[in-house]
Amino acid sequence: MKLLTFKGGVHPPEKKELAKDKQIKRFDLPDTVYVYMANHAGAPAKVVVEKEQEVKTGQVIGEPAGFISAYVHSPVTGKVIDIKKMLHPIVGKPVDTVIIQRTGDDEWKLLEGYGSYEDKSPEELVDLVKRAGIVGMGGAMFPTHVKLSPPPGKKVDTLIINGAECEPYLTTDYRMMLERAEDLLLGIKIIKKILDVQRMFVGVENNKMDAIKHLQKVFSGEPIEVVPLKTKYPQGSEKQLIYAITGRTVPRGGLPLDVGVVVQNVGTAIAIKEAVIDGKPLVERGLTVTGEAVKNPGNYIVRIGTPAKLILDKAGLDENVDRVLFGGPMMGIAVRDINTPVMKGTSGITALLPEQTQIKMSKPCIRCAKCVEVCPMNLQPYLLYHLVLKKRYDEAVEIGLMDCIECGSCSFICPSKIEHVRQIKLGKTVYKALRGAKK
- Identify the domain boundary among 260, 278, 296: 278
Q: Judge whether 345 lies within some domain.
A: no
- Looking at residue 257, what DSSP letter applies? G
Q: Where are the alpha helices (DSSP H) in 196-331?
A: 209-218, 238-246, 266-278, 308-315
* Domain end call among 278, 295, 314: 278
**Do 121 and 262 fall within a single domain?**
yes
Look at residues 280, 287, 289 and name the one whose alpha carbon lies nearest to residue 346.
Answer: 287
**208 pLDDT more than 80:** yes
Can you tell me the distance from the alpha carbon of 167 to that of 237, in angstroms, rounded to the nearest whole number? 10
Whether 271 and 395 map to the same domain: the answer is no
pTM of the model: 0.95
317 within some domain: no
Q: How far is Cα of residue 93 from the mean position of the Cα atoms in its chain? A: 20
Quote the domain boundaries for residue 423.
Answer: 370-438
pLDDT in tens, 132-189: 999 999 888 999 999 999 998 889 999 999 999 999 999 999 999 999 999 999 999 9
Q: Which strands sit side by side in the sheet containing 78-87, from one edge to the other? A: 32-36, 94-102, 78-87, 54-55
pLDDT in tens, 275-321: 999 999 999 999 999 999 999 999 999 999 999 999 999 999 999 99
Q: 348-352 and 284-290 as β-strands: parallel, antiparallel, unpaired? A: parallel
Element (H, E) at 262: strand 261-265
Domain boundary among 214, 243, 278: 278
Is position 411 within any domain? yes
Position 152 in a domain = yes
206 assigned to some structural domain: yes
d(CA 185, CA 183): 5
What's the chain's average pLDDT? Answer: 95
Q: Are 300 and 278 in contact (CB under 8 A)?
A: no
Tell me, yes or no, whether 106 lies in a domain.
no
Q: What is the pLDDT of residue 140?
A: 87
Q: Do 256 and 119 share a structural domain? A: yes
Question: What are the helix and strand counts (H, E) for the chain?
Answer: 14, 17
Q: Is 403 inside a domain boundary?
A: yes
- Residues 269 and 380 placed together within one structural domain of the fold: no
Where does residue 360 rank: exposed (0-12), middle (13-18), buried (19+ CB within 10 A)? exposed
Alpha carbon distance 270, 181 (integer Å): 9
Q: How far apart are CA 131 and CA 111, in angstroms?
A: 7
Name residue 320's amino acid: N
Dump the DSSP string for 406-418.
---HHHHH-TT--
* 43 CB neighbour count, 10 Å cutoff: 15
pLDDT (tens digit, 9 = 90+) per residue, 104-126? 999 999 999 999 999 999 999 99
CATH at 258: 3.40.50.11540
Percent over 90 (pLDDT), the chain: 93
Q: Which helix (H) or strand (E) holds 370?
A: helix 370-374
Query: Mean pLDDT, to the nearest integer, of 25-30?
Result: 97
The total of structural domains in the chain comes to 2
Residue 332 lies in a domain: no
pLDDT in tens, 227-251: 999 999 999 999 999 999 999 999 9
One domain, residues 260 and 118: yes
Rg (CA), the chain: 21
